[in-house]
Amino acid sequence: MNPKENNLKKNENFINHWETKRGNRVKYAILQSLYFAIPFSIVFQAIESIQGFLTLNFGFKFLTIFSVYFLLTYYVSFTIYEKKYQKFKKQS
């Protein structure tokens, strides 16, 4: 497979993947934020104290990480992927 065919295949895979995600921006941002916030809040709490998982402190860590990543995903990541999608769609 030459580089041009490889790039076309990658672009087609991206278009197929993003077409399913772009339908609902809020759902996409919430799921991406959950995938990011759950492991990181667990790691940060384990570093601080293993016994503190059922405390309000853990809840605040989770909510803070979730909120920041949600805003980044909703406004930045989604916009970048949408522009990339539109560019590839025009090329094909």
Task: Provide the number of structural domains found in the chain.
Answer: 1
pLDDT value at residue 54: 78
Residue 8: inside a domain, yes or no?
no
pLDDT value at residue 34: 96
pLDDT value at residue 3: 86
Residue 34: inside a domain, yes or no?
yes
Residue 10: inside a domain, yes or no?
no
Residue 33: inside a domain, yes or no?
yes
**Residue ranges of the chain with per-residue pLDDT less than 70:** none
Cα–Cα distance, 57 to 69 (Å, whole number) = 18
pLDDT value at residue 38: 93
Parent domain of 32: 25-91
Residue 53: inside a domain, yes or no?
yes
Q: Does the reported pTM lie above 0.85?
A: no
pLDDT value at residue 16: 92
Residue 12: inside a domain, yes or no?
no
pLDDT value at residue 68: 97
Helices (H), the chain: 3-21, 25-48, 56-72, 78-91
Residue 13: inside a domain, yes or no?
no
Residue 69: inside a domain, yes or no?
yes
Question: pLDDT by residue (tens digit) across 35-50?
Answer: 999 999 989 888 887 7
